[in-house]
């Protein structure tokens, strides 16, 4: 009996020939990731073990959630991380000015590659399946132990195969694909399962699309999301991943718990209404009188250069609607620099958008875009739970950069075709 991509990756890192769903295994890790929120408690667990870090080059520390620091408490959290970096000689630490959102900069800098395995003390660590890796989020305790041991335990998940067919129409992005999938199966539809994307439609998904799709596997309850290694992956990692890699393909006789087919040619822009990512609606089904107060374009889901290009396409020559605030947040310094050189930031500023340094800030209700009671935001982020971005009686609508920008221009939830 054959294995899926995730099963083969786990078997490789457990030193086993075969693994099966439900099996408890111990795997050697290629990297461990933490941010300014999850690192301090992980450090406490690490210190209890009394060992040095397992590899100072394979621990990735990124202060991104409350940085640049918004208050004394966040500054203290960042200092705890900074002091640890100095003490242990951590090489992959990304300070303000050289940083970005963790799930944007790791693939950007080639810190995770095909066939590799990593964990991160952040739920959206599942992003890296886009480059054919296994990656998943864990708690700070597991991350702290892994810093010392370089390994962790897993229960092998079952796999859902998501067959992508057809070619997407204009304005349809990876964000629409994953929101449509979550709308079909629900926020627990892939609970502790791998989502393996396959089919001829995969060729139409750019790396930015794939990173977005895998990023939100967790919003379906997934353990991870993963794409096959192909020409798009090969081109993306060229010049980024400067070490030998061993991509993983599923066996022809791999067993899947379920197969779901998504016809990309039938998709249109999708919006997830409050207060669940599964509360999805196609743009042509939406009331044209849902007025908004704010738009956020950025995050680990849609803060890449391609996302800013999409938003700029809508904003060029247009203005943000009166009484609407639009905040654009490049996902990394490299994204910021490229957007600056290509004139995208000028387009945003001329359109009356505010442009921020890279930060997770508003996505988790931290800062840089908090809502008051009764306000509505259209956001390219990944979660729209009650109170996620501010007051418990505010509302978050999840959408692609195209829809977010169009909504900012028209002052209501709108599709890009309307502008």
CA end-to-end span of the chain, whole Å?
A: 52
Residue 116 to residue 216: CA distance in whole angstroms = 20
- Burial zone of 263 (CB within 10 Å; 0-12 exposed, 13-18 middle, 19+ buried): middle
363 labeled part of a ligand binding site? yes
Helix (H, G, I), strand (E, B) or coil at 2: strand
Q: What is the DSSP string of 17-76?
A: S---TT-EEEEE-SEEEEETTTHHHHHHHHHHHT---S-TTSEEEE--SSTTT-SHHHHH
360 labeled part of a ligand binding site? yes
Across 279-405, the runs of DSSP E, i.e. the strands, are 280-282, 294-297, 325-328, 354-355, 376-379, 395-398
326 labeled part of a ligand binding site? no
State how far Cα 160 lies from the chain centre. 19
- Quickly count: other Cβ atoms within 10 Å of residue 244's Cβ: 7
Residue 389 to residue 362: CA distance in whole angstroms = 6
Q: How far is CA 390 from CA 122, 278, 372, in A?
A: 20, 20, 6
Binding site members: 300, 360, 363
Binding site members for [4Fe-4S] cluster: 300, 360, 363
């Amino acid at each position: 009996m054959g294995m899926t991509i995730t099963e083969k990756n786990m078997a490789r890192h457990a030193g086993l020939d075969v693994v099966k769903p439900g099996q408890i295994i111990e795997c050697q890790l290629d990297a461990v990731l933490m941010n300014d929120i999850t690192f301090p408690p992980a450090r406490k667990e690490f210190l209890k073990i009394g060992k040095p870090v397992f590899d100072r080059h394979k621990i990735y520390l990124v202060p991104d959630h409350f940085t640049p620091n918004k208050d004394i408490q966040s500054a203290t959290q960042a200092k705890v991380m900074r002091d640890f970096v100095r003490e242990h000689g951590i090489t992959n630490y990304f300070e303000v000015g050289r940083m970005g959102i963790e799930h944007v900069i790791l693939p950007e800098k080639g810190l995770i590659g095909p066939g590799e395995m990593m964990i991160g003390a952040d739920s959206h660590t599942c992003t890296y399946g886009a480059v054919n890796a296994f990656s998943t989020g864990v708690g700070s305790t597991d991350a702290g132990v892994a810093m010392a041991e370089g390994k962790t335990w897993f229960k092998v998940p079952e796999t859902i195969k998501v067959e992508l067919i057809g070619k997407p129409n204009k304005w349809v992005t990876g964000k629409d694909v994953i929101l449509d999938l979550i709308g079909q199966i629900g926020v627990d539809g892939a609970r502790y399962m791998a989502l393996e994307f396959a089919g001829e439609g995969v060729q139409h998904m750019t790396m930015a699309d794939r990173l977005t799709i895998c990023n939100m596997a967790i919003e379906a309850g997934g353990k991870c999301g993963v794409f096959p290694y192909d020409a798009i992956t090969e081109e993306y990692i060229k010049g980024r991943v400067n070490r030998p890699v061993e991509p993983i393909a599923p066996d022809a006789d791999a067993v899947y718990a379920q197969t779901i087919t998504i016809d990309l040619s039938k998709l249109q822009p999708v919006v997830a209404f409050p207060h669940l990512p599964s509360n999805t609606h196609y743009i042509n089904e939406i009331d044209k009188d849902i007025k908004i107060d704010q738009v956020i374009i950025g995050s680990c889901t849609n803060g890449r250069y391609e996302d800013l290009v999409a938003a700029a396409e809508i904003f060029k020559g247009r203005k943000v609607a009166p009484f609407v605030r639009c905040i654009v947040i490049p996902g990394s310094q490299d994204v910021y620099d490229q957007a600056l050189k290509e004139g995208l930031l000028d387009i945003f500023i001329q359109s009356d958008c505010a442009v921020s340094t890279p930060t997770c800030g508003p996505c988790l209700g931290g800062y840089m875009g908090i809502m008051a009671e009764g306000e509505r935001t259209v956001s390219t982020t990944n979660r729209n739970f009650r109170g996620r971005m501010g007051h418990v009686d505010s509302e978050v609508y999840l959408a692609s950069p195209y829809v977010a920008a169009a909504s900012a221009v028209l002052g209501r939830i709108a599709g890009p075709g309307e502008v």
